[in-house]
């Protein structure tokens, strides 16, 4: 990554860092679930939507939290 790319990424990240993060608490997890719900409402099944990959990333972050923190029911 070039210095220019890093600077552009830093600028963009500053705008989304409070929204997109690895959850470390139940509160953060719930915030991501709410974000995902809103994204699903906006995007639906449209894989070409500009936010489709964001929806996928948020889903992965939620899944990771659940795998590590939610007990499996037998």
**Phi (first) and psi of residue 48, to 5 degrees:** -90, -5
* Residue 67, domain member (yes or no): yes
* Residue 12, domain member (yes or no): no
- pLDDT for the residue numbered 29: 97
* Residue 15, domain member (yes or no): no
* Residue 4, domain member (yes or no): no
Share of the chain above pLDDT 70, in %: 99
User: Does residue 46 contact residue 65 with C-beta atoms inside 8 Å?
Assistant: no
* Domain tally, the chain: 1
Residues spanned by the domain of 55: 22-74
The span from the CA of 43 to the CA of 57, in Å, is 14
Three-class SS string for the chain? CCHHHHHHHHHHHHHHCCCCCCCCCHHHHHHHHHHHHHHHHHHCCCCCCCCHHHHHHHHHHHHHHHHHHCCCCC
* Residue 69, domain member (yes or no): yes
| Residue 70: pLDDT band with limits 50, 70, 90 | confident
* Residue 3, domain member (yes or no): no
Per-residue model confidence as pLDDT tens digits over 6-30: 999 999 999 999 999 999 999 999 9
């Amino acid at each position: 990554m070039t210095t220019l790319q890093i600077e552009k990424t830093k600028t963009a990240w500053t705008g989304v860092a409070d929204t997109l993060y690895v959850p470390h608490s139940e509160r953060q997890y719930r915030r991501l679930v709410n974000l995902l719900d809103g994204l699903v409402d906006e995007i639906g099944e449209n894989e070409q939507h500009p936010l489709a990959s964001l929806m996928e990333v948020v889903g992965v972050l939620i899944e990771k939290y659940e795998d590590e923190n939610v007990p499996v029911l037998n």
